[in-house]
Structure 1
Amino acid sequence: MLSAKNLFQEILDDDESFRLFCSIAASGESQGGWENGRIAALVPADARELAPKIARHGADEDKHGRIFHALLRKRGLRPVPVPPETDYTMLLERHGIGLAHEKLRDDEPLSVRDVVTYLAHSRVTEQRASEQMRLLRRHFADHPDIGRAVRMISNDEDNHLAYCHEELLRLAYAGHGRAIQRALRECALAEIRVYRDVSLAVMDHMGRILGWPKAKSALFAAGIHAVYAYERLAGWRRMASLRMPERRDALGGPATTAPEFA
């Protein structure tokens, strides 16, 4: 039976597929950590109150990258190079979503509009991350090898999503509502395309590693295309809506550590 649980169990049980999965995840998290760190350093003077929260976001992402590397070490595995077609973070940047790395490498302060762009991009991508980690938490929260990591990362992703909602609403009340709506719609529509392409690429690599028959690979590809069709029609709206979260000031404190992994 094809299911998300069976798929991930198959990836988890094989060293090579698990190595690729953790390598892709670690690379994306580490890249997110760098991006947030640079944004925190470049926040404009009239938005400096956001800098500690952005830095906390980046510290969480760095921690997640270390956790995935630690999971590899626990199995006696080393990371592998990430295939470019599976690099979600870099493909989003290539599609013009979020703040360009060229801008982040400069020392020029960002504008409030840049902050809106960053938060809209984060709100969309953290929705995806939160949903994915909740799926893994539902099936693997008690797993002896990865359960603790899944629970910790899932909680962090929920915090990141709550933070994005709250800060975007605050900026909307300050008069940036239309810019936020435009940025969220643009980001959401681009993200679902990139997510589809990355998912197809990852499944292609996993299929070759695990020796899937063509029929099985075709079923997974059909499922990915079906999800994209739904998201293109209406599902993207869940990524572009805003509501005040139950978790208020979710990134208001210091980042939690992960001594059991890192």
Structure 2
Amino acid sequence: MLSAKSLFQEILDDDEAFRLFCSIAAGGESQGGWENGRIAVLVPESQRALAPKIARHGADEDKHGRIFGALLRKRGLRPVEVPRETDYTMLLERQGIGLGHERLRLDEPLLEGDIITYLAHSRVTEQRASEQMRLLRKHFADHPDLGRAVKMISNDEDDHLAYCHEELLRLARAGHGRTIQRTLRECALAEIRVYRDVSLAVMAHMGRILGWSRARAAVLAAGIHGVHAYERLVGWRRMVSLEQPERRDALGGPATQMPEFA
């Protein structure tokens, strides 16, 4: 029977599949760390109070990248080059979502509107990350190799999502509500397209590594398309709603240290 747990267990049990999974995850987290680090440096004066929280966000993402690298080293594996069609962060940038790398490489302060763009993009992508890590935590929290990593990353992603809610609500109260809702909707609709495309690409690569039959690959692809259809119709709304989080000031302190995995 196909299930999220059985699929991931199959990836976990195969060195090449696990190598690709961790390489993709580490690459995305490292890119996120760099982006947040640059945004923290370029925050406009009107939003300088956000800079330590953005820096903390970036430090967490860097830590996640190192964790996935450590999981590879623990199994004696080296990272592989990430296939371009599986690069979620790059593909989102190509869709014009978030702040582009070219802009972030300039030593020019961002505008307040750029901070809204950054937070809206983060609110959408952190929703996805939080859901994915909660799923892994549900099934693998007690795993001897993955357990600590999954729990730490899941907790961080929940903190990141809470932070985005809180800061976007603050900016909405300051008069940016319509801009925030428009930007959130644009980000959400683009993200679900990119997530579908990346999911199909990752499953195609995994299928070749694991020797899936055409029938099994077709069933998985149909499932991905089904999720996209649901999200395109109504599921995107969960990515644009804003509510005061239970975790207040979630990024107000120093980043938690990475436990020794390797």
TM-score by length of 1: 0.99
Aligned equivalent of 1:261: 261
Q: Matched residues in 1 for 2:146 and 2:114: separation? A: 36
Q: Please list every run of at least 4 consecutive aligned residues from structure 1 whose deviation after the TM superposition is greater than 6 angstroms.
A: none
Q: Matched residues in 2 for 1:241 and 1:73: separation? A: 39
Contact 1:188 1:236 in 2 (8 A): yes
1:63 equivalent in alignment to 2:63: yes
Contact 1:188 1:239 in 2 (8 A): yes
Aligned equivalent of 1:151: 151
User: Cα deviations across residues 138-194 of structure 1 (Å, max 9, x unaligned)?
Assistant: 000000010100000000000000000000000000011011001000000000000
Aligned equivalent of 2:164: 164
Name the count of aligned residue pairs. 262
Q: Matched residues in 2 for 1:240 and 1:256: separation? A: 28
Aligned equivalent of 2:250: 250
Q: Matched residues in 2 for 1:101 and 1:258: separation? A: 27
Counterpart AA for 2:65: G
Structure 1 residues 22-171: aligned runs within 5 Å: 22-171=22-171
Aligned to 1:250, the other structure's residue is in SS state: coil
Aligned equivalent of 2:181: 181
Q: Matched residues in 2 for 1:259 and 1:145: separation? A: 12
Q: Matched residues in 2 for 1:75 and 1:122: separation? A: 32
Structure 1 residues 205-220: aligned runs within 5 Å: 205-220=205-220
User: Cα deviations across residues 68-114 of structure 1 (Å, max 9, x unaligned)?
Assistant: 00000000000000000000000000000000111100000000000
Q: Matched residues in 2 for 1:100 and 1:17: separation? A: 30
Segments of 5+ residues of structure 2 without an aligned counterpart are: none
Contact 2:63 2:258 in 1 (8 A): yes
Aligned to 2:234, the other structure's residue is in SS state: helix
Q: Matched residues in 2 for 1:176 and 1:24: separation? A: 35
Q: Matched residues in 1 for 2:100 and 2:89: separation? A: 11
Structure 1 vs Structure 2 CA RMSD: 0.6
Contact 2:74 2:261 in 1 (8 A): no
Contact 1:116 1:168 in 2 (8 A): yes
TM-aligned CA deviation for residue 260 of structure 1: 1.3
Counterpart AA for 2:215: A
User: Cα deviations across residues 41-65 of structure 1 (Å, max 9, x unaligned)?
Assistant: 0000000000000000000000000
Counterpart AA for 2:186: E
Segments of 5+ residues of structure 1 without an aligned counterpart are: none
Aligned to 1:89, the other structure's residue is in SS state: helix
Contact 1:169 1:242 in 2 (8 A): yes
Contact 1:66 1:261 in 2 (8 A): no
Aligned equivalent of 1:230: 230
TM-aligned CA deviation for residue 261 of structure 1: 3.1
Contact 2:130 2:157 in 1 (8 A): yes
Sequence identity (%)? 84
Q: Matched residues in 2 for 1:151 and 1:176: separation? A: 35
Contact 1:27 1:82 in 2 (8 A): yes
Contact 1:36 1:54 in 2 (8 A): yes
Contact 1:33 1:62 in 2 (8 A): yes
TM-score by length of 2: 0.99
Aligned to 1:79, the other structure's residue is in SS state: coil
Q: Matched residues in 2 for 1:259 and 1:108: separation? A: 36
TM-aligned CA deviation for residue 259 of structure 1: 3.4
User: Cα deviations across residues 192-220 of structure 1 (Å, max 9, x unaligned)?
Assistant: 00000000000000000000000000000
